[in-house]
Amino acid sequence: MVALDLAQNTLDGLMVGSSYALLAIGFTLIFGVMRRLNLAYGPTIMAGVYLGTAAFISLGAPILVVLAIVILGASLVGLYVERLCFRPFGEGARTASMVASFALWMQIEEAAMHLLPRHMNPFPALVASAPLEIGPLMLRADHLVMLAATLLIAGAATYLLARTKLGLAIRAVIDQPRAAAIVGIDVERVMMLTFVLASAIGGIAGFLIAATDAQVTAMIGMWATTKGLVAMMLGGLGSVKGAIAGGLLLGVLEAHAQWFLGPQVRDMVAWGLLFVLLAFWPGGLMGAKALDRTMAVGRRV
Amino acid sequence: MDGFLITVLSNIGMISFVALSAYILLLSGQISFGQQAYFGIGAYVAGIATVMWSWPLAAALVLGAFVAGAAAGLVGLVTLRLSGIYFAMATLAFAEIMRIAAELFVYRREIGGIETGPDGIDGFRDIRYLFANDISPFQSCLIVYALLVAVLATLFIVERTRGGRMLRQVGEDPLLAEVNGIDVMRVRIAAALSAGAVAGLGGGLYAHLLTYVEPRSFDIMLGVHALAYGLIGGLGTALGPLLGVLIDIGLLESTRVFRGYRMIVFGGLVAVLLIVRPRGLLDEVAISRIRQALRRWRHAGD
């Protein structure tokens, strides 16, 4: 029955991995334009999800309203993080931005705990139907929704980056911020829009995760930051495709490790893989080596 | 002195070791999210040495620092050619691996009729060396500060030597340092090694003063806090990270004014502070101004 277990685990892993992929896309977008790490990304998502949950608990808001609140909340908090941690610093003060975002992580998490003090809170469930059976394999309907949403958002993000004027501006800023400014792109505005966009994508990811579990715990902020970071690093920085590959790989790997070795080893496997990849193959799966090289040049000039 | 004050002072002292550890790496131009790993290694090794092998405290602390430093050096060998976010992530990955390894680590033996030792996720309890040897909290606080002053003095002396200047130069511009004939990799590994040993020393003290250590004691929060302390306090002097610890633990955690809102205040404070002073309160400029003022004052006295 090992083959069946393997197949079932892989399937489950792909589904969970799709949420990691969404988180990684958001991280990658922010890292791409800012070249700085936003540690407050997970807590931003947490803030949105907590606002949605609060509306659900106290007002009995229907699920679509909750989704809207989550996205809006995450975007607004994302804007706050951008204003306080990224806008005031030049690219030179990378560490300062990162530490400031960590400071806001602490702040947002404590504020969220004041909003909903309990460790675990109910969240509206996505689909309450019985799992589908495909031959001997089981498939949860809400997991399918999650996968579909991921593919949809990834497609939309790719379209936005490749085909629209804003996407062109974003890519220009990612490639050469100074040159982008010279040709008349409002770099600060592009950065802000990307930041808000990434926060909104994170909000959707947080919503899907909470809705699949039908609950949300105080760990979601930390969870989203670490999973998103690992998935992004596995895929290599700065590419949407890499983020998806990294997220799915992480999901599958964790599912197998959990099944065969237990939940503690599961987490260790993800970190272990990341460590080995970084130490011996720092470009990641689909690493944007070119991006790295331009960054090195940018630092020197 | 009352017990509460002694506890707060001891905490400030012990956390300062991790803050100094992150600071040493910051000087070499590397951001580490993972110095808590060496804190944890030091805590477990030193605890095992006194409890399971009945070593004296001093030897146990030295062993803890030594093992932590060696581990940091080995990790440094494979990670130090990375930079920026890659290095930060690699150190975080290693620290999380160590934390989970501690959750799985069980090493129980009967000592004096009672089974004791690290017990997986429940951590390592009953590290009763200080208690068994009648060392009071005040005396252990003194031990912490004596060691902290020793580490600080070493750092101050090293900063004035060629090695210290090399360290700062590598941190500011590794390429230029390389051109100047500095072996960047060697300087970085030396920095990582000593940073690991300093954190390990703090961990050994922590395990004995609190009488227990658990995997949760050295999670990512400790590591990122340690990093933040240096950046708030300032990167111009080894006193900077200490100032950071003092502001956070001394002012916010221990006074009850901000109870329940500590992180909201601290978080906002740090974010705004970093906008005004991206390299912390005691940055290089502030330090050189203070030095100049001191010199002028001394000359005025002549």
What is the predicted pLDDT for the residue at B233? 87
CB atoms within 10 A of CB B115: 10
Euclidean distance between CA atoms B175 and B189, whole angstroms? 16
* β-pairing verdict for A132-134 and A137-139: antiparallel
Is A159 in the B-facing interface, judged by CB distances under 8 Å? Answer: no
What is the predicted pLDDT for the residue at B132? 86
Q: What share of chain B is helix, strand, coil (3-state, %, to 5)?
A: 75, 5, 20
Question: Which tokens in the block code for residue B206?
Answer: 């922590």
Q: CA nearest B127: which of B199, B50, B22?
A: B50
B275·A271 Cβ contact <8 A: no
Which residues, 6+ apart, have CB-to-CB distance to B295 below 8 Å? Answer: none
What string of pLDDT tens digits covers the 302 residues of chain B? Answer: 688 889 889 999 999 999 999 999 988 888 898 999 999 999 999 999 999 999 999 999 999 999 999 999 999 999 988 877 788 889 989 999 999 999 999 988 888 788 888 988 888 988 888 888 888 999 999 999 999 999 999 999 998 898 888 898 888 888 888 888 889 899 999 999 999 999 999 999 999 999 999 998 888 888 888 988 888 888 888 888 999 998 888 777 766 677 778 778 878 888 888 888 877 888 888 888 888 898 888 887 66
In chain B, where the domains are located: 3-219
Distance from CA of A38 to the nearest CA of B (A): 11
What is the predicted pLDDT for the residue at B262? 76
Chain B's closest residue to A38, CA to CA, is B85
Which residues, 6+ apart, have CB-to-CB distance to B26 below 8 Å? Answer: A95, B171, B227, B230, B231, B235
Chain A's closest residue to B280, CA to CA, is A96
What is the predicted pLDDT for the residue at A112? 92
Beta partners for residue B111, in sequence order: B114
A84·B263 Cβ contact <8 A: no
b/e code A23-45 from CB counts within 10 Å (16+ = b): bbbbbbbbbbbbbbbbbbbbbbb
Measured between beta carbons, the chain A residues lying within 8 angstroms of B269 are 103
Question: Nearest 5 degrees, angle CA A66-CA A71-CA A76?
Answer: 125
For residue A99, give the nearest of B85, B227, B268 by CB distance. B227
User: Confidence class of residue A299 from pLDDT cuts 50, 70 and 90?
Assistant: very low
Question: pLDDT at residue A61 above 70?
Answer: yes
What is the predicted pLDDT for the residue at B94? 94
At A92-124, the pLDDT tens digits run: 677 788 888 888 988 898 899 899 988 889 898
What is the predicted pLDDT for the residue at B302? 63
Task: For residue A34, give Cα distances in angstroms to A89, A93, B11, B152.
Answer: 10, 11, 36, 36
Task: For residue B97, give Cα distances in angstroms to A25, A244, A281, B36, B105.
Answer: 25, 24, 19, 12, 12
User: Confidence class of residue A285 from pLDDT cuts 50, 70 and 90?
Assistant: low
Beta partners for residue A120, in sequence order: A217
Task: For residue B229, give Cα distances in angstroms to A297, B86, B189, B194, B270.
Answer: 31, 21, 22, 18, 10
What is the predicted pLDDT for the residue at B153? 95
Question: pLDDT at residue A289 above 70?
Answer: no
What is the predicted pLDDT for the residue at B234? 85
CB atoms within 10 A of CB B52: 16
Is A164 in the B-facing interface, judged by CB distances under 8 Å? Answer: no
Task: For residue A276, give Cα distances in angstroms to A242, A270, B184, B263, B285.
Answer: 17, 10, 23, 34, 39
- Alpha helices, DSSP H, located in A35-127: 41-59, 63-81, 94-115
Most confident of A34-43, A63-72, A266-275, B239-248: A63-72
Q: What is the mean pLDDT of residues A128-133?
A: 72
Coil, strand, or helix at residue A183? coil
Q: CA nearest A206: which of A141, A245, A259, A153?
A: A153
Q: What is the mean pLDDT of residues A75-91?
A: 88
Question: What ipTM does the predicted assembly reach?
Answer: 0.86
At A145-185, the pLDDT tens digits run: 888 988 999 899 889 988 999 989 988 888 888 888 899 88
Euclidean distance between CA atoms B235 and B227, whole angstroms? 11
Distance from CA of A292 to the nearest CA of B (A): 11
What is the predicted pLDDT for the residue at A108? 92
Q: What is the mean pLDDT of residues A236-254?
A: 87
Chain A's closest residue to B29, CA to CA, is A95
At A19-32, the pLDDT tens digits run: 999 999 998 888 88
Helix B184-210 with B57-79: angle, nearest 10 deg: 140
Task: For residue B31, give Cα distances in angstroms to A207, A269, B25, B196.
Answer: 32, 23, 7, 14
